[in-house]
């Protein structure tokens, strides 16, 4: 349309960047060239449209949160407050924001229970040749061995009704206390694990869910045991399976 210099000069003209001879040169161009006039009109029209769309905001009252921040007394927003709580919890720092230290510590423990179960699942569930240390054929031995090492009596739930067959289990090394992993498999070779460890704090914790990509973990603490079930399944299916397992572990018979 125009050579390069004139093209940018038209923008500069519209934006009030030109003075003196440069400005006069463009005015002369506009007087004789309709395409240049149209281009300048189009750029100016864009400016009008932008103002029509956005400039009403200049007359709006400024939201209170922004005003408070500008006066130097902004409060942390929810996301910050949550990360602050998480940060304090990780540090084990004392009672801030009205929550006590024990609560923080519990949250950390819970998170780490689900997390340790997840790591164990990710490590061993994909194993083709060595998914377990002790096979299901040795179930009695597995139960006795894990009970002894974990330090409390465990049961090995029967999940046949849910379509999962026991493959076996293994002992897991953990920083504080040994843990155990039971592995199951359904007809499509999809695996499910149960992570078991001593409930050292002897705190009760009802069933809770933790999501990670392609995996859901349901965990709880009851009596002497802390447990976490990990599998790739919908939340409702996981909850009903977890309740089934919970009942079997609780059965005193």
Interface with other proteins (CB under 8 A):
7-8, 11-12, 15, 17, 42-43, 46-47, 49-55, 57-60, 62-63, 65-67, 69-72, 74, 77
**Cβ nearer to other proteins, comparing 64 with 187:** 64
State whether residue 129 is helix, strand or coil: coil
240 φ, ψ to 5°? -70, -35
**Cβ nearer to other proteins, comparing 41 with 144:** 41
We find the least distance from the C-beta atom of residue 148 to other proteins, in angstroms, to be 48
Structure tokens at 224: 């002497």
Instruction: Tell me if 167 sits within 8 A of 139, measured CB to CB.
Output: no
Distance CA 218, CA 104 (A): 20
We find the least distance from the C-beta atom of residue 98 to other proteins, in angstroms, to be 24
We find the least distance from the C-beta atom of residue 71 to other proteins, in angstroms, to be 7
Instruction: Tell me if 10 sits within 8 A of 41, measured CB to CB.
Output: no
- Specify the DSSP class assigned to residue 55: G
Closest by CA position to 195, among listed 224, 229, 235: 229
**Cβ nearer to other proteins, comparing 34 with 140:** 34
- The arrangement of strands across the sheet holding 205-212 comes to 134-135, 165-172, 179-185, 191-198, 225-231, 215-222, 205-212
**Cβ nearer to other proteins, comparing 53 with 173:** 53
Look at strands 191-198 and 205-212 and give their pairing: unpaired
We find the least distance from the C-beta atom of residue 138 to other proteins, in angstroms, to be 49
Instruction: Tell me if 204 sits within 8 A of 219, measured CB to CB.
Output: no
Closest by CA position to 231, among listed 185, 178, 187, 198: 185
**Cβ nearer to other proteins, comparing 64 with 173:** 64
State whether residue 159 is helix, strand or coil: coil
**Cβ nearer to other proteins, comparing 84 with 237:** 84
**Cβ nearer to other proteins, comparing 52 with 189:** 52
We find the least distance from the C-beta atom of residue 44 to other proteins, in angstroms, to be 9
We find the least distance from the C-beta atom of residue 213 to other proteins, in angstroms, to be 15
We find the least distance from the C-beta atom of residue 1 to other proteins, in angstroms, to be 10
């Amino acid at each position: 349309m125009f050579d390069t210099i004139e093209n940018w000069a038209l923008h500069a003209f519209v934006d009030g960047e030109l003075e003196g001879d440069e400005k006069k040169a463009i005015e002369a161009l506009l007087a004789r060239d309709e395409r240049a006039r149209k281009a300048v009109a189009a750029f100016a029209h864009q400016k009008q449209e932008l103002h029509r769309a956005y400039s009403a905001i200049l007359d709006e009252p400024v939201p209170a949160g922004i005003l408070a921040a500008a006066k130097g007394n902004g409060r942390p927003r929810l996301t910050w407050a949550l990360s602050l709580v998480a940060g304090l919890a990780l540090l084990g720092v004392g009672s801030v924001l009205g929550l006590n230290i024990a609560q923080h510590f519990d949250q950390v423990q819970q998170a780490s229970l689900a997390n340790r179960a997840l790591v164990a699942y990710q490590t061993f569930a994909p194993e083709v040749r060595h998914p377990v240390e002790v096979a299901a054929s040795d179930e009695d031995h597995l139960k006795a061995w894990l009970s002894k090492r974990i330090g409390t009596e465990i049961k090995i739930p029967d999940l046949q009704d849910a379509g999962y067959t026991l493959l076996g289990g293994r002992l897991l090394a953990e920083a504080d206390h040994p843990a155990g992993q039971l592995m199951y498999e359904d007809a499509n070779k999809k695996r499910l694990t149960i992570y078991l460890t001593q409930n050292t704090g002897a705190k009760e914790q009802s069933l809770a869910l933790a999501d990670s990509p392609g995996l859901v973990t349901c965990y709880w603490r009851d009596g002497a045991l802390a447990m976490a079930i990990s599998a790739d399944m919908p939340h409702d299916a996981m909850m009903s399976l977890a309740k089934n397992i919970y009942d079997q572990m609780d059965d005193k018979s």
